[in-house]
Structure 1
Amino acid sequence: MNKRAVTALIADDEAPMRDLLRARLAAAWPELSIVAEAANGVEAVELGELHGPDIAFLDIRMPGLSGIEAAKRLYARSHIVFATAYDQYALDAFEQGALDYLLKPVSPERMATTCARIRKRLQARAGDAPAPQDIGQQLARLTTLLEHQGKPSRPNYLRWIQAQVGTSLRMISTREVLYFQSDEKYTRVQTAGGEFLIRKTLKELLDELDPDEFWRVHRSTLVRVDAISEVVRDARGRHMLRLRNHAGEVEVSRNHTYLFQQM
């Protein structure tokens, strides 16, 4: 007789993060069945109560209800795994207790470790054994930490770019991007490993990217500032940017030379 498949819920308000988490889980635990995905804390609770998943992967900061508040409604039935970009929670609150966590963006190695740990804990809870009593106390402590932390002062800038590559979807961290360059139809995303085409316009990117990390250096070009290794003048007197891990140069238009006033 076949054993019942282990089931899971994924909740994150960013679709690219849900896609990445699903892909990492498929690689680390192919037998795991994702029964539902939620875009906010309220949906997470509703879908969790409807499907009763064995595991709930919850982002900490979500609209409606936080992942911690959702976990308070779900932990009696589901093993809770928090996915968070806020490592202070992991360092201060997760290591001692029955909860698991993943730091975003999730690496394949970290996902494999977490899945192995979850398997052991699910086996320990076999036979409908009650959830450890300290989970409720740990969630209360996390709620207090979240309240003291307050809301992030920085806007929620774009962190992932989705690029279609053949029949697959490539997830590109903005930290990988050297520059964006647009023409009339497409925007080229240049990374150290290659280039990709997306349909997002430069205007959309300007509204969504952190202006401290990406500068517009030409009407058609955005450059990640910390990818710039050198600014030089060519034979025609134009400012040209040399980028780390990239052989070509990027032109700075005359209207944007003020960004490099020391030259």
Structure 2
Amino acid sequence: MRVLIVDDEEPARSRLRRLLKDVAGVEVVGEAGDGHETLRQVEVLHPELLLLDIRMPGLDGLTLAQRYTDLPPVIFVTAYDEYAVQAFEVNAVDYLLKPVRPERLAAAMERARQRQLATREAVSRALEAVRPVGASTRIVTSTPGAIRLFDARDITRFWAADKYTLFQAEGAEQVTEETLGSLEERLRQVGFLRVHRGELVHVGSIKALRTVEGSFAVELRDGQVARVSRRLLAAVKGELGLDGSPD
């Protein structure tokens, strides 16, 4: 589970990082010192869980969770017990009081893991309900409180990042748990082609094949650029009708 630690005090962040080293299956992907930095880190790092302090300068943790409902699940970590009711009103996984005891932290992380598994199962059921086998172009994403559906025919590119697949839609970066390999198999019939081990693009959206210092890339109609591997270059040229063109 990918965790972002949020606390305005560096010693508190360091202690949580040390304690989490003893919790199996946990990766601390970053830290933040206030609410605004948290939003930036969530956008870049895609954590699966926030360990979130409540009292911080500027945008505090409770206001952050109340205002931004699409955040990852939250475990509040605070020295104050008077916010517990408000914390659980924003569907917090748990509420830990400082100084955090190792066994209490481990129990909270297990609760978060069980919630994550339940969410993934719900997404899988939704995916099966809306997708005829081998025929659907629907792409499913899941955020706290919402399962969203996109049409792959409106998307030009998918790319791999860690354990997830990313794509651009509705002016923002979206995340799906479906693998690039699964998407390649499912979307081949509507014109998608693997051009790199980490890139899947819609062939009809390619407007240029470029070479830069010996590396290859395709430019798409929406301005995105996807890498092309030498191993797959011939297949890309073939799809574009460039079989006889020089490298």
TM-score between both structures, scaled by the size of structure 2: 0.46
